[in-house]
Amino acid sequence: NPRTQKGAAPSETPVDTLNEIEAAVELAELAHEMARHDALYYAKDTPEISDADYDALRRRNTTIEAHFPMLVRDDSPSTRIGAAPAAGFKKVTHALPMLSLDNAFSDDDVREFVARVRRFLNLDAEADVALMAEPKIDGLSISLRYEKGRFVMGATRGDGPTGENVTANLRTLDDIPDRLKGTGWPDVLEVRGEVYMRKSEFQALNARQEKADAKPFANPRNAAAGSLRQLDSTITAVRKLGFFGYAWGEVAEPLGQTLMEARKRLAAWGFTLNDGALCTDVDEALAFYRHQASGRAVLDYDIDGIVYKVD
């Protein structure tokens, strides 16, 4: 995810050599620095560091907290998701908070995730765990609320519990049905997914920006977020945003016994879902990751990883 390389890098001092005062000082610096980056990324859509650099700051913070649990701050980045809703939009309290994902940086991290799932479910240590593997779209997380089959509200993730009401702008997206197709949908259905901008649309938008002597957008994710946060929905309409559904929030009744069943129902009701793969074990899941990584350059949208979910 190309971004301007600015901001402080995490200290390289081994955590186990820090004393309590040094750890407290560094945690305070990390909390301040990451809060600044969160505001730039989520609220202003003008990030200054790469996702990898941000993840390095978060890992450093988490490692220090693990060694000094008594020093965990009230404003710790490990307890914060995203950023507070921006001014100009009404706030929406999500019926169920929109949570963030944990990260895996190696095959061993993925295998440990599956091992934790086995332990949680009291499964045998060698039991297969079916995983749904999906490309992680680099866009803006959104929750869509439907009541009796009609789209009534859409909101950004915001800080997790509270987001921004962007219903009028979301109604301009062709991928978001105003009325659900088919039958059998619950009276209350919250569909969660990602608003994104295709690379081709991004290039066309920046060409228009440059022609108008306006500042070009840094990347498709920032362009999508900035387009969706327009107070004038007619501007959003001409930006040609897309939407992929991938999960649900509040529902009046279960969507199925497995994630695969739920995905099929969401598709039948009119939502576009990204191409995923049902993997019978962790080796298949890792193979899907490598396959997607080798072909990501030819996709017409940006991805920043693969999401694994227990089916």
Looking at the DSSP bridge assignments, the partners of residue 134 are: 307
3-state secondary structure 7-44: CCCCCCCCHHHCCHHHHHHHHHHHHHHHHHHHHHHHHC
How far is C-alpha 279 from the chain's CA centre? Answer: 22
Instruction: Report whether 147 contacts 141 (CB < 8 A).
Output: no
Q: Say which of 136, 240, 264, 309 is annotated catalytic.
A: 136
Q: Residue 155 phi/psi, 5° resolution? A: -140, 150
E strands, 214-298, are 242-251, 277-279
The b/e string for 40-63 (b: 16+ C-beta within 10 A; e otherwise) is bbbbebbbbbebebbeebbebbee
CA–CA distance, 122 with 58 (Å, rounded to integer): 31
Give catalytic status of residue 136 as yes or no: yes
**Catalytic residue list:** 136
